[in-house]
Structure 1
Amino acid sequence: MIEYELVGNDLGEVRFAISPLNELVLSLRTLRDPGRFPLQLPWLRATEAARAGLPLDLLRALTNEALWTPDFLTPRPYTPLGRIDDELAALTGTPNGVVRADLAEIHPGTLPAVLRGRPDRVLTRVLAGLREYWEACFEPYWQRMRTVLEADVVHRGRVTARSGLAVMFADLDQHVRLEDNVVYVRLRSDLSYRTSTAGRGLTLAPSLFSRRATAPISADEPPHIMYPARGLGTLWETETSTPAIALVGLIGRVRARLMGLLETPTSSTELAVRLDVTPTAVNQHLRALRAAGLLISARHGRSVLYRRSDLGDRLMRGT
């Protein structure tokens, strides 16, 4: 059990962040054991040809049978919306002792051959391999992935505003809870420690590649919880359902389809992908629906996310 003691149970101690590096590294679990990640199989199939030219032995060696990854490769993000170039660059200064210790933590017996050698040279190989992996398998899909992650963060903010921190933490994952001023994260392993967030805060990072909440292996790492993002089941879907005839007659087919998709916050880019239309066309319809009071919008980072308003929900329930 990991225990993070919040100072004063204050919302200011808790913040959300999206890290492309964390997602990149956590996705290596799908390469080792794809059967545990059925919702990512469409992405694995789509990137199969691109992976053929990658150093797969090296990438798979960065996880173990328990699907742990080295802490130094999943650092706590320090900006709400990280950039992969900045996050990879920050890893170049990782001390040799940290590289050696973190790799030994996930491979306590003998290191795989591809991870042996001087730690600085191993680090260089690892970062180069991750860069190749990003460009081949992540960069073409990151906008879509990020949209789902941003929508999750907006949802958590609404839950906190309406129901408070304890409900928000319970909503993250069944293995996370807040009691008094302590956040408890129950892991599969016997690993346990307790540490304070004083002066460091607690960062919550939604992930498309976590099946349950996880935290750093070491108590020396800054407080950080990665948890399964909402909406993963819709990530690779396209919209194929037929809206109700009455609703189509009222607002038109495209706008009716949009209303059906906007139960959760979504960007115009993601809506365009799922409806197979241009972002310009989607934005025109979104503006009209928002002007009619059927949608509301909120900015998160560089994206604007839309969702149905209470009036929009009532309209959908009446169809």
Structure 2
Amino acid sequence: MAIRIETDARTLSRSRFATSPAVEIISTLQARRGPAQAHVRRWYAQALARLDTWTLDLLHALVPTPMEHRYVPDFLTPHPQRSRETRDGMVEAIASNPREEVASQLDFAFDGRPVRPEFADGFANERAYRRWRRRPAPLLQELFDAGEATLLEEAAAAMGRFFDAAIADQWAQVGAVLDADVAFRAETMSTHGIAAMLATLDEALAWDGRTLSLPRPFDAVVDWADDGVLFIPCTAHSGPILYAAERPRTPALTYAARGTGILWSEPQQVDHTAGLGELIGSTRLSLLRLLDDPRTTQDLSLLDGHQAPTVSYHLHLLSRSGLVTGRRSGRGVVYRRTALGDALLRGALPAPTGD
């Protein structure tokens, strides 16, 4: 059994990658009662400490943990309209979801709402479908009664507040990790082909030239992928690919991003106005450490905290010394650590106090 997305080479070529703060938020909320990466645990702890009870209760009511339920309404994760969705873009997109689509998603998920035959038909019988749906929390029922417009306004504002409290401080680093991940997938595709790139997302994801298939404990066919597939990397997600498709929206596959270990430590507050021209060894060592994955100058600038010209200067010195190598990819240059750089780093793990 599998999800089968009908897409040939022509339609698959229309696929795109995009990053989404909404996906990061939802994945963080889903992980609140289970194992999670260090940065995800920290984000949720910050949300608990900084947010009001009503906001948390609303988000908890909308976003169950996997142990509670597997379905999260799709209106909370609208498709990004740009390659790098912003916090404000996310809030606006959630608030402007089509009301009928929102009502349909709520009817699908929550007990007490109308039973739509097209949903019930997917279960053994209507009774089994009703048992599958979950009971809404009282504050959620109040918003149901107020109407979809009010619910969307409140949900959008709550998502924005969660971002501000939990993720905003580290969003530049998150963006750099996500950009580096997309660059890696693009390079894999340009070097080895699209099938090889798909295998890097999930070994079980397969494409036979006509159909993209993903094993699941049920069968489903998506025959409206005229614009290909939307691929969304996520630093807060771990595990198999997540699938979302609701006609007529482009099917979306959310997958675990690479290189998230850089996010595990507390974000550093960097003084961007002082010392940017100093040629100190700790800066070059920091750049070497960040090159566990191939990265561009801009990626390294966001992660390291120094301005791009300073990073470029240090990379030039590292390259002349044979510690890193650069290869042009599109409009930028992707840097990698060399074997010599690996050897040096293994002997220089304790950070120097200065040169």
TM-score bracket, normalised by the shorter chain, equals: 0.7 to 0.9
> Match for 1:130 among 141, 155, 159?
159
Matched, 1:171 2:195: no
> Match for 1:232 among 255, 260, 284?
260
The 8 Å contact of residues 4 and 195 in structure 1, kept in 2 or not, is answered as yes
Deviations 1:273-310 (A, max 9, x none): 6xxx7877545412433566733276899xx77521xx
- In structure 2, the partner of 1:55 is 55
The 8 Å contact of residues 14 and 203 in structure 1, kept in 2 or not, is answered as yes
CA distance in 1, matches of 2:261, 2:88: 28
CA distance in 1, matches of 2:327, 2:45: 34
Alignment of 1:279-298 (within 5 A): 282-290=311-319, 294-296=324-326
1:109 CA drift (Å): 4.0
Matched, 1:110 2:135: yes
Alignment of 1:250-269 (within 5 A): 254-266=283-295, 267-269=299-301
CA distance in 1, matches of 2:88, 2:327: 29
CA distance in 2, matches of 1:191, 1:111: 28
The verdict on how the C-alpha distance between 1:95 and 1:216 changes in structure 2, with shifts beyond 3 A counting, is: same
Alignment of 1:121-200 (within 5 A): 121-187=150-216, 190=218, 192-198=220-226, 200=227
**SS of aligned partner of 2:198:** helix
The verdict on how the C-alpha distance between 1:287 and 1:6 changes in structure 2, with shifts beyond 3 A counting, is: same
Deviating more after overlay: 115-124 vs 279-288: 279-288
The 8 Å contact of residues 14 and 228 in structure 2, kept in 1 or not, is answered as yes
1:58 CA drift (Å): 0.4
Amino acid of the structure 1 residue aligned with 2:207: L
CA RMSD of aligned residues (A): 3.1
The 8 Å contact of residues 54 and 132 in structure 1, kept in 2 or not, is answered as no
Alignment of 1:274-313 (within 5 A): 282-290=311-319, 294-296=324-326, 306-308=334-336, 312-313=337-338
> Match for 2:304 among 272, 284, 295?
272
- In structure 1, the partner of 2:86 is 83
> Match for 1:315 among 311, 323, 340?
340
The verdict on how the C-alpha distance between 1:100 and 1:112 changes in structure 2, with shifts beyond 3 A counting, is: farther
> Match for 1:203 among 230, 247, 250?
230
Segments ≥4 residues shifted beyond 4 Å? 251-254, 277-283, 290-293, 297-301
The verdict on how the C-alpha distance between 1:305 and 1:23 changes in structure 2, with shifts beyond 3 A counting, is: farther
The 8 Å contact of residues 2 and 184 in structure 1, kept in 2 or not, is answered as yes
Deviations 1:60-83 (A, max 9, x none): 112232343211221222311112
Deviating more after overlay: 20-29 vs 48-57: 48-57
1:191 CA drift (Å): 5.9
Q: What percentage of aligned pairs have identical amino acids?
A: 25
1:19 CA drift (Å): 1.6
Deviations 1:74-117 (A, max 9, x none): 12223111122123213323233222221333332432222222
Amino acid of the structure 2 residue aligned with 1:268: L
The alignment covers a number of residue pairs equal to: 296
- In structure 2, the partner of 1:25 is 26
CA distance in 1, matches of 2:171, 2:289: 24
- In structure 1, the partner of 2:35 is 36
CA distance in 1, matches of 2:230, 2:307: 35
The verdict on how the C-alpha distance between 1:317 and 1:131 changes in structure 2, with shifts beyond 3 A counting, is: closer
The verdict on how the C-alpha distance between 1:128 and 1:46 changes in structure 2, with shifts beyond 3 A counting, is: closer
1:123 CA drift (Å): 1.4
1:207 CA drift (Å): 0.9
